[in-house]
Amino acid sequence: MVIISPEPIDPAKMYDLLASSGAGSLVFHYAVVKAMAGAGGGTTRYIDYATSGDTEVELNEIAGSLTAEFAIVDVMLIRRTGRLCLGDIISLVAASSPNSEDAFEACKQGICRLKKMKTIIKSEVLG
């Protein structure tokens, strides 16, 4: 399942959406906006995320590759768009599997691949 949304991610709802039938392990990773010191010495006030190109296709390609590489029952990839403030959830990578090893590795690889997405534009505003 892939989702691109300007709406906040509700962790409890995401748990209910991930297929867990036949899975003994569910791994969730939420990336959040954190305060970082920028080159000019300011810290992050907010980050604007936008799409450029077909983000849904790119997310589906990532999900498909994870499903092909690991013994997983389901994978969930969510990217937020719009203005996100400190503490807001930016993205979710989740995987369910009959075993924890594949669930953790699929989640880890999903995180790495989301960070490299070409169709997500990030504009950080410092204060």
pLDDT (tens digit, 9 = 90+) per residue, 31-70?
999 987 666 667 888 999 999 999 999 999 999 999 999 9
> For the segment 1-25, what is each residue's pLDDT rounded down to a tens digit?
999 999 999 998 998 888 777 888 9
> Where along the chain do its domains lie?
2-126
Backbone angles phi, psi at 36, to 5 degrees: -130, 145
Q: What are the Cα distances from residue 116, in Å, to 23, 77, 122, 126?
A: 28, 14, 12, 22
Burial of 12 (0-12, 13-18, 19+ CB in 10 A): exposed
CATH of domain 2-126: 3.90.1170.40
Pairing relationship of beta strands 74-80 and 2-5 according to DSSP bridges = parallel
Nearest CA to 114 among 49, 70, 39?
A: 49
- By the 8 A CB rule, do 120 and 49 touch? yes
